[in-house]
């Protein structure tokens, strides 16, 4: 009697469970089959393209073809300035192992025929200073000037958000962001390369982390060279 009753009660759940599993499997299959479509869709929000007004300078923040882009900009606007980001000298530069990235970029631009007076550096006064603080100083010296900022495509929205957050509104309006495509990947195939996956994750982390991080009080610190020996011996 009890068995009959329990089969009456459990008959529907069993069918229901089977149906749920079938449905889940079909959804999973659909996700796998259409992965190209939605992976591409997931990358699209990372890219931000501003309207292109006439600008007076181009700031090279990143991107694979930034030097070519700077050369094209110079050809179109010979009076325009090319701005490099002045990074604080890292260990390699201090030990004179490598030249500072901005020095290498400057040399390469000069090689391409851009005169030195057209090349400037937007640099922080201290290693901890943000790019936005250096930009505020540059705008003080160049009132009414507009800048186009070129950067890696997957970091373009993060950069736009950072600039909007850290700069006064009247200054952030004078900046336009232009994403540069990578040599190795695009939104249509980023998941095929290591650099594409890293760029995708970095782009999303850049958008998500500021929401959760209360303050940026933890500064990037270089590891003390004295730690290398005790770590090994």
Partner 1 sequence: MQSGTVSASGTLNPVPVHWTRRKYFRRLVICFFTVAVLYAIAPILLGWAGSWLNVGEPLSSPVDYVFVLGGDADTRPFLAAAVFRAGYARSILIPEGTPPLAGDESIVLAEHQIQHAVLVNRGVPPDAIQQIPGPVDSTRDEALALANFLAMKPKSRVAIVTSDFHTRRARMIFRRILAKDRDRLCFLACPTDGFGPYDWWHYRDGILWYASEYAKLLREVLQ
Residue from 92, 130, 173, 192 in contact with partner 1 (CB under 8 A) = 92
Give the shortest CB-170-to-partner 1 separation in angstroms. Answer: 29
Which window, 10-18, 19-27, 29-37, 129-137, contacts partner 1 (CB under 8 A)? 10-18
Please work out the total of residues on this chain that contact partner 1, with binding judged by CB under 8 A. Answer: 50
The token duo for 187 is: 């939104």
Decide: is 211 part of the binding site for partner 1 (CB under 8 A).
Answer: no
Question: Do β-strands 119-123 and 147-152 pair in parallel, antiparallel, or remain unpaired?
Answer: unpaired
Residue from 51, 96, 116, 170 in contact with partner 1 (CB under 8 A) = 96
Decide: is 198 part of the binding site for partner 1 (CB under 8 A).
Answer: yes
How many C-beta atoms lie closer than 10 Å to residue 101's C-beta? 15
Q: Which is nearest to 46 in space by CA: 169, 182, 194?
A: 182
SS3 2: helix
**With helix as H, strand as E and coil as C, how does 10-28 read?**
HHHHHHHHHHHHHHHHHHH
Residue matched to tokens 């695009």: 186
Q: Identify the helix (H) or strand (E) that includes residue 39.
A: helix 35-43
By rule CB under 8 A, what string of x and - marks binding of each residue 64-83 to partner 1?
A: xx-xx---------------
> What residues line the site for partner 1 (CB under 8 A)?
1-2, 4-6, 8-9, 12-13, 16, 64-65, 67-68, 90-92, 95-98, 101, 104-105, 107-108, 111, 183-184, 197-198, 201-202, 205-206, 209, 213, 218, 220-223, 225, 227-233
């Amino acid at each position: 009697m009890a068995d009959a009753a329990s089969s009456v009660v459990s008959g529907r759940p069993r069918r229901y469970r089977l149906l749920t599993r079938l449905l889940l499997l079909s959804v999973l299959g659909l996700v796998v089959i259409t992965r190209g479509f939605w992976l591409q869709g997931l990358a699209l929000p990372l890219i931000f393209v501003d309207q292109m007004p006439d600008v007076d300078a181009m700031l090279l923040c990143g991107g694979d073809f930034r030097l070519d882009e700077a050369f094209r900009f110079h050809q179109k606007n010979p009076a325009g300035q090319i701005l490099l980001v002045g990074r604080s000298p890292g260990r390699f530069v201090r030990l004179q192992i490598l030249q500072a990235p901005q020095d290498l970029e400057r040399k390469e631009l000069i090689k391409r025929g851009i005169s030195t007076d057209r090349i400037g550096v937007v640099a922080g006064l201290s290693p901890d200073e943000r790019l936005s603080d250096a930009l505020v100083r540059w705008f003080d010296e160049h009132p009414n000037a507009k800048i186009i900022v070129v950067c890696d495509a997957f970091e373009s929205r993060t950069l736009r958000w950072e600039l909007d957050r850290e700069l006064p509104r009247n200054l952030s309006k004078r900046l336009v962001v232009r994403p540069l495509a990578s040599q190795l990947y695009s939104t249509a195939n980023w998941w095929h390369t290591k650099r594409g996956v890293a760029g995708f994750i970095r782009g999303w982390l850049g958008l998500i982390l500021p929401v959760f991080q209360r303050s940026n009080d933890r500064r990037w610190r270089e590891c003390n060279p004295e730690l290398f020996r005790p770590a090994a011996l």
